[in-house]
């Protein structure tokens, strides 16, 4: 990711910019070149951090941001804190296809929102050769969304089947496992240390705290799909798909100023030895399969 941003002199004489009060101009400049920006003009914008950087209250920053967005036709999706400048490519167009591919890796660090589709559909100011790179990414995102939709439909069908086959009051039911819940304010609840240990073993390429945070952001951005009864199945399905795609190694790069995920508790000596043994056994099993081939 580049360490500098471009500010063109014509910014100061733009007719719309001239109508902004001085404090709003500061906010506009922050959105163009602040430490939370990236190479594509679509990024996560923390109002609290931005207010601190600009030396004002969060309430005042949000009010000025609303003024800036209304005046300059910029976008801010509050539920997921995602910000987008539609005219970004006019002033920050990549030099070639390779540079475009590199810039688009920043998209992996942004929660998918309605602004994502607007960004992917925006071809203005891009030559055809570079727009083709964006088309490839758009196709990939479309496939991922279709997979997510299919997974949601399958979960709903399974939930309906389980409800129909649930034991009646006269039938003794087995002791239920801890029921995981989710709310917009509190996030996931009732995830036990044993759950974390089991998921870490089953999905080693996934950082649990990062994945859970991404799930929360996706659910907030898609409230119509956030009404579930089988949250455990939703979590394991999400982790399984992420594991198949290689996990979140590439997305573990924390954006400047973004809060780091809470640290995992250190493993005991016994846990470390047990994990090493499991890895060795898995490697021996894979080596044995390869030799048979």
Least confidently predicted of 1-10, 116-125, 186-195, 246-255: 246-255
**Whole-structure pTM value:** 0.51
Q: How far is CA 139 from the centre of its chain?
A: 18
The single residue listed with the structure tokens 């400047």 is: 256
Token output for 58: 């969060």
pLDDT for residue 266: 58
With left for phi above 0 and alpha for psi between -120 and 50, is residue 120 left, alpha or beta? alpha
At residue 47 the predicted structure's pLDDT band, cuts being 50, 70 and 90, is: very high
pLDDT for residue 268: 63
Phi, psi angles (nearest 5°) of residue 189: -125, 155
Q: Please, which residues have CB within 8 angstroms of residue 103's CB and are 6 or more apart in sequence?
A: 39, 40, 94
Q: Please, which residues have CB within 8 angstroms of residue 206's CB and are 6 or more apart in sequence?
A: 199, 239, 242, 243, 247, 248
Is there a contact between 48 and 115 (Cβ–Cβ < 8 Å)?
no
Average pLDDT, integer, range 105-117: 89
Residue 89 scores a pLDDT above 50: yes
Q: pLDDT tens across 219-257, in order?
A: 888 777 777 778 888 899 889 888 888 777 544 444 445
Q: pLDDT tens across 9-36, in order?
A: 999 999 999 999 999 999 999 999 999 9
């Amino acid at each position: 990711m580049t360490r500098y941003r471009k500010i063109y002199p014509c910014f100061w004489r733009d007719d719309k910019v001239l109508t902004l009060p001085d404090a709003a101009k500061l906010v506009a400049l922050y959105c163009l070149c602040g430490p939370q920006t990236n190479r594509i003009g679509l990024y996560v914008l923390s109002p609290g951090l931005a207010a601190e950087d600009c030396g004002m209250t969060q309430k005042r920053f949000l009010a000025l941001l609303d003024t800036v967005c209304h005046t300059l036709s910029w976008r801010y999706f509050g539920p997921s804190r995602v910000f987008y400048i539609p005219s970004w490519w006019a002033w920050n167009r990549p030099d070639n296809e390779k540079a475009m591919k590199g810039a688009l890796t920043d998209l992996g660090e942004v929660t998918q929102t309605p602004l994502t589709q607007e960004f992917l559909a925006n071809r203005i100011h891009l030559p055809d050769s570079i727009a083709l790179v964006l088309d490839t990414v758009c196709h990939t995102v479309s496939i991922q969304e279709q997979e997510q939709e299919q997974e949601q439909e399958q979960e709903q069908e399974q939930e309906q089947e389980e409800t129909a086959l649930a034991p009646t009051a006269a039938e003794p039911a087995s002791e239920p496992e801890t029921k995981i819940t989710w709310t917009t304010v509190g996030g996931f609840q009732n995830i036990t240390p044993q759950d974390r240990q089991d998921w870490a073993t089953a999905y080693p390429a996934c950082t649990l705290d990062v994945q859970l945070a991404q799930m929360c952001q996706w659910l907030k951005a898609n409230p119509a799909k956030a009404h579930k009864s089988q949250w455990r199945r939703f979590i394991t399905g999400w982790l399984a798909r992420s594991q198949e795609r290689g996990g979140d190694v590439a997305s573990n790069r924390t954006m400047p100023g973004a809060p780091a995920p809470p640290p995992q508790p250190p493993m005991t000596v016994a846990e470390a030895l047990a994990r090493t043994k499991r890895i060795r056994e898995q490697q021996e099993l894979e080596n044995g399969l390869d030799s048979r081939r």
